[in-house]
Structures are given as structure tokens and as C-alpha cells.
Amino acid sequence: MDPIDVSASGLAAQRRRLEVIAENLANAETTRTAEGGPYRRKQIIFSEALDAAAEGGVEVEEISEDLSPGKRVYQPGHPNANDEGYVELPNVSVMQEMVDMIGATRAYEANVTALNATKSMIRRALDIGRD
């Protein structure tokens, strides 16, 4: 696979990862969703992108829900409290999401750097042919 295509697939994958992280952060306190119950943290799973002509790159294989339970807090006046007065909060850790965001940002930057290095090498190779 062309190095530019590999970097581009990495950029697209990390962009999608950042979108999922932003969705998790936006719903960190959502106690009721359309499906009922609290929001469940979403996780992204990558896989190797297999092209008909070549192999390489990365793609989003799946976006799954983390089914681990969230914290339960006692708030009997809350509209989503159960009969005992407990509210189940989402299983989103803002701290973990921020760490994941930093990792995704660094991976995005690494792909941009690789893309720029590839373009620079191509440009220099063309310059050699002119001399």
C-alpha cells in the first residue's frame, strides 16, 4: 500500500477515535438514554485494512459499548432514581477519556509527520531526476 494511503487511513481512524471520545465526554453525566438506562461508554476497535490490491493501513472494525456498570449514587429526588433512591451514572471516566484523547492526538500527529516525511522524500526524489 502506498505510504500516503497508510498515513491517510491512520488519520481517518484517529479522527474517528477522537469523535467517539468526544461523544463519551459529552454524555459523561447522561443518566437516561433513548434506550433507557444510563449512557454506556463507547470503545473503538481497529483492525488492519485489507485492500484488494495490497495490504496495509488501519480501519475502524467496530464501535462497541462498554457494559461495565457505572457508579450508583443516592439521590432520591432525581427523576431517574430507582425505588431505593439510587441513580445509576454512566460508566464514563473523564480522566480516562482525557488520557485516551491525548493518545489519539499524538497518534494523529505521528501520522501527519509520516505523511509530510513521505511527501518530502518524493519531492527530493523528483529533484534528483532534474539534476
Q: What is the pLDDT of residues 44-90, one digit of tens each?
A: 999 988 765 556 789 899 999 999 999 999 999 999 999 999 999 99
Strand stretches in the chain, DSSP E: 42-50, 55-65, 72-74, 86-88
**Residue type, position 24, single letter:** N
Residues 88, 37: contact at Cβ < 8 Å? yes
Query: How far, in Å, CA of 91 to CA of 18, rounded?
Result: 18
Q: For residues 10 and 111, is the Cβ–Cβ distance under 8 A?
A: yes
Measured between its terminal Cα atoms, the distance across the chain in Å is: 29
pTM for the model stands at 0.85
